[in-house]
Structures are given as C-alpha cells and as structure tokens.
Amino acid sequence: MKLGIIITSYNDENTLEKAIQSLTSLKKKDKIYIALVDDCSTDSTVNIIKHAKKNNQIDVVHFNKKNLGVSSSRNIGINLCRDTDYITFLDSDDQILPNLSNVISKKRIHGDLIAFKFDYFFNNRQVKNNFYNEDKILEVNDIKKYFYRYLTMPNKYSLFTTCWAKLYRTELLVINKDLYFNEKLLLCEDTDFVFRFLTKSKNIQYINESIYVHTLGIAKENLKKLTFGTRFDPKHQISFLTTVESCKNYFIKNGHTPSEIQKKIDHCTGAYTIIYIIRSCIRVNSLPSFISTYLFWKNLYNRNIISSEMPNYSFKLAGGSWLLPFLIRNKLYFIAILTAYYICKKRYL
C-alpha cells in the first residue's frame, strides 16, 4: 500500500520541523509519499521546508504563488498524491505517531475511509481519546448514530469532524472531484469534507488505535489557530451552516426526509452559533473590533439567517449555559456579545 501524506503550512516556523520529523520512521519503513504545500509563508518556514526537501524528508513541495487558504492547499496536495492508494493529512502543528506503520501492517486496510483514534496534546500533557472499544466496520446505522450524537453536541463528538487521523481511498477522490475540499470554506472545511466523503463511501472502518496527536493552543497561541479564524473576514464564522447541510444530506441519501431531522439540524445550528459567537471574540482586541463583531452578529439575527433555528436549541442537550441563548432569543445582542467576550477570554486567553 502506498500512502500519501499531505502537509499544509503557513508561518509555522515553531512547529513544522517537529511535524515533519514525526514521519521519519514511517518513511524508512513504508511506501510513504509526503507532499507539502506552503501557502506563502513569510517567516523561516520556507527555509525549514527547503532543508527537509534537501534531506529527502519530503518527496514533493509546492509553494503557492499567493495565499489561497487551507482548503485550496489541501486540494493541491490531493492532486500531488493521485498515484497513491490512500491519502491522509497532517497539520503543521501536529504529529503522526510512528505506530501507524505497525497498525497498517497488521490490520486489513480495505475501506474507502478508515478512521483511527487520536490524542490531544494540551498544557504539556497528552490526553487519550476514545470512540469505540474495538475495531469495527461502521454500517449506515452506526454512522447515523454518530450523527445523532454530533447533532446534539457538535463540539464533543469529534470522530468525523477532523480530516486528520483518517485514511481516504485516493481513487474515490480522483473519480469524484466534487469530494475535494470546498475552497470557499476557511473554517469547518475539514468537517464538511469528511461528511461528504462519508456520503460517497461504501465501506468505512474504525481502527481502535491512536495514530495522531493534535495540539491544542494555550492562551495567545490560539490567536494563530485556524480554528478561530482570527485573520479571516467575520462572515467565515458561519461556515458551520455548510457543514450541517452536509450532515443533513447524509440522512437524506439514506432514507430520511428533511422534516424528520429538521429539529436536530436546528439544534445543532444553535449549538454551533453559541460556539462561534464565543470563538469570534478571540479576535477582539480593541473597541472597533468589538463593535464590528457585535454588528456582524446583530445583522445576522436581524436577517433571520440563524435566529429561526434558535427556538429548537436546547442548552441542556448541548451541555452549555442558558445565558447566551436567553440573551439572543430576547434580542439583547450587545449584552450577548459582552458575555461571549468574557467567556472567550476566560476559556481561551
């Protein structure tokens, strides 16, 4: 089996070298093809990449001529790995564990999508994650059960919300280019990608071994995390609407009518709204940025883009606080953003 590993980078001089080094033992043992796509880094990331390429730690490098975003960069990486059997992704501040080699050699890899356990590295400690207690072929009903949980608590049920820690059959991507990353999305793009890939997959495996470590930011490190979109236009904070629609399409393809799951979809949209109102405040560092954040969300509610779903949102089901949804439903938007700002600073900074 030939495995393509796609790394994307942008100003990652503090973490990229460690990410590349995590692949060293794999490259010695297995048929690994490493493609790195840099999205116009302006720091010493470029020198790290050139050094790694010179030392044969990377097989192919692509430097974008202009900043395209992570979705476009990953799509370039997919095209560079078209001659592989499977592809996977490595974020430049994460690591793939060396045991991936042993896992691949002793397991019968045959699915269109193979999902693995993964761990989190946070505050100098590694936190184990678990989804199922054994290796498992995931049938349609298993995926539906997962989606029901995801729609209830989208920030907790994360097996299929990240593009990494999974193998994707390359052939399925090559013959279905509509499965590539949505290049209009700068946030939630990986969740949307996985959900659409699940919809096209006929055979889905889960392997109960951890092969990936994802690094969570601490304090001001979060300002650089793509997850928070601090350098993006605020409109990208509602990218989750596309993701929820992709989840809905899975149910429709597998026999549900939209009306059967609409309340669950509305609840998930409400949960995401609360999450991203809070996360959007991480970019607030001045009075003008606070005002622009407030006006952005106020405008959305006045245009009924999101507020129509909030009546079906239950903070108890989502495991959240009652305060923010109460303020939003009562159109106390300024107080809501003040509250979100306080929560954001306490939680992330």
Out of 182, 216, 250, a domain closes at 216
Give, for all 349 residues of the chain, the pLDDT tens digit: 899 999 999 999 999 999 999 999 888 777 899 999 999 999 999 999 999 999 999 999 999 999 999 999 999 999 999 999 999 999 999 999 998 988 888 778 899 999 999 998 877 777 887 899 999 999 999 999 999 999 999 988 989 999 999 999 999 999 999 999 999 999 999 999 999 999 999 999 999 999 999 987 665 665 666 777 777 888 889 999 999 999 999 999 999 999 999 999 999 999 999 999 999 998 898 999 999 999 999 998 888 778 778 889 999 999 999 999 999 999 999 999 999 999 998 887 6
Domain count, the chain: 2
Please give the pLDDT value at position 218: 65
- Domain region containing 12: 2-216
Residues 200 and 255 in one domain: no
Comparing CA positions, the residue from 235, 82, 59, 205 lying closest to residue 139 is: 205
Out of 188, 216, 244, a domain closes at 216
Residues 185 and 132 in one domain: yes
Comparing CA positions, the residue from 139, 10, 129 lying closest to residue 67 is: 10
CB neighbours of residue 205 within 10 Å: 21
Comparing CA positions, the residue from 23, 13, 14, 78 lying closest to residue 50 is: 13
Amino acid, single-letter form, for residue 77:
G
Amino acid, single-letter form, for residue 147:
F
CA-CA distance, 107 to 114, in Å (whole number)?
A: 11
Residues 198 and 259 in one domain: no
Instruction: Provide the 3-class DSSP secondary structure of residue 99.
Output: coil
Please give the pLDDT value at position 124: 73
Report whether 57 contacts 23 (CB < 8 A): yes
| b/e burial code for range 88-105 (CB count within 10 A of at least 16 → b) | bbbbbbbbbbeebbebbe
Report whether 40 contacts 9 (CB < 8 A): no
CB neighbours of residue 336 within 10 Å: 24
| b/e burial code for range 291-312 (CB count within 10 A of at least 16 → b) | eebbebbeebbeeeebbebbee
Instruction: Name the token pair of 28.
Output: 């010695």
CA-CA distance, 349 to 347, in Å (whole number)?
A: 6
Residues 6 and 132 in one domain: yes
Amino acid, single-letter form, for residue 93:
D
Out of 216, 238, 265, a domain closes at 216
Please give the pLDDT value at position 58: 95
CATH value at residue 117: 3.90.550.10
Report whether 86 contacts 197 (CB < 8 A): no
Beta strands in 40-153 (DSSP E): 60-63, 86-91, 95-96, 113-122, 125-127, 136-138
Q: Does residue 305 form part of some domain?
A: yes
Please give the pLDDT value at position 217: 67
Residues 26 and 118 in one domain: yes
Please give the pLDDT value at position 51: 96
Q: Does residue 100 form part of some domain?
A: yes
- Half-sphere exposure of residue 96: CA atoms within 13 angstroms, side-chain side: 29
Instruction: Provide the 3-class DSSP secondary structure of residue 118.
Output: strand
Please give the pLDDT value at position 223: 61
Please give the pLDDT value at position 347: 84
